[in-house]
Amino acid sequence: MLTVWGRRTSSNVQAVMWCIAELGIEHNRIDAGHTYGVVDTPEYLAMNPNGTVPTIRDNDDPPLFESGAILRYLAGSYAPDAFWPKDPVARAQVDMWAEWSKLNIALNLTVPIFWRLVRTAPSKRDPQAIAEAVVKLERYLAVADARLRQTSFIAANHLTLADMQFGHVLYRYYEMDIERRSLPHVRRYYQGLCALPTYADNVMVLYDELRVFD
């Protein structure tokens, strides 16, 4: 049995849980992190010395942390070839967009925008810094928009591991109270994801427990 430690409101956990759902992997998830604790216990730190989520353990195999490594492990162990190709050249194309998404989309949204807007009290927010961060993020989203003019999904014309890294942050991008530029192909892609039960169940998760108020 695959065990996942991590709360539903963690975006990195959401990417992993979406992947698990897409691949139909039997699993058990344990709430951990934020108000749920667990991550500071000796038992957890022995698995993940960073005290972060997610962490997984598949049967009696060694535990794994870092969402990108977890996604690759799950895909390599459970996914069909179309999702994570065995051919190294084809797989590298998927991995390229997965890595690009994590470095340029997820990292430029989570702390510079989401944390400043949702996890910061209104009186302490810096609207100019948030606006500048949105402009920076949208320069990369424009790259995705151009890509999605050519393909149905970010790495191919079908769902792949790369979509787990790119698509999971779009729920927050479109739900946050920010001004957004017109990115018609990204929006079309996002609307398609919203129609997937696996995405709706694991990514479209209310994050009210993370909000900070004055």
Residue 29: give its domain's CATH number. 3.40.30.10
Which residues is 5 bridged to in the sheet?
A: 30, 55
Same domain, 194 and 106: yes
> Does a structural domain hold residue 209?
no
> Does a structural domain hold residue 158?
yes
Q: Assign residue 173 the CATH number of its domain.
A: 1.20.1050.10
Same domain, 190 and 93: yes
> Over its length of 214 residues, how does the chain's per-residue pLDDT go in tens digits?
999 999 999 999 999 999 999 999 999 999 999 999 999 999 999 999 999 999 999 999 999 999 999 999 999 999 999 999 999 999 999 999 999 999 999 999 999 999 999 999 999 999 999 999 999 999 999 999 999 999 999 999 999 999 999 999 999 999 999 999 999 999 999 999 999 999 999 999 999 999 999 8
Q: Is the distance from CB of 140 to CB of 113 less than 8 angstroms?
A: no
For residue range 79-94, list pLDDT tens digits in order.
999 999 999 999 999 9
In the prediction, which pLDDT does 98 show? 98
Last residue of a domain, one of 24, 47, 78: 78
Cβ burial of 34 (10 Å; 0-12, 13-18, 19+) is: middle
In the prediction, which pLDDT does 116 show? 97
Same domain, 132 and 164: yes
Same domain, 125 and 193: yes
Could you list the residue range(s) of the whole structural domain that residue 168 is in? 88-203
Same domain, 114 and 65: no
Same domain, 98 and 126: yes
| Structural domain total, the chain | 2
Same domain, 96 and 164: yes
Rounded CA-CA distance 56/39 in Å is: 13
Same domain, 62 and 113: no
Same domain, 92 and 189: yes
> Does a structural domain hold residue 83?
no
> Does a structural domain hold residue 192?
yes
Same domain, 191 and 100: yes
DSSP secondary structure of the chain: -EEEE--TT-HHHHHHHHHHHHHT--EEEE--SGGG--TTSHHHHHH-TT--S-EEEETTSPPEESHHHHHHHHHHHH--TTTS-SSHHHHHHHHHHHHHIIIIIIHHHIIIIIIHHTSS-GGG--HHHHHHHHHHHHHHHHHHHHHHTT-SSSSSSS--HHHHHHHTTHHHHHHSSS-----HHHHHHHHHHHT-HHHHHHTS---GGG----
Same domain, 114 and 143: yes
In the prediction, which pLDDT does 146 show? 98
C-alpha to C-alpha distances, 66 to 48, 54, 69, 160, nearest whole angstrom: 9, 7, 6, 19
The DSSP bridge pattern shows strands 55-58 and 64-65 to be: antiparallel
> Does a structural domain hold residue 208?
no
Rounded CA-CA distance 203/11 in Å is: 8
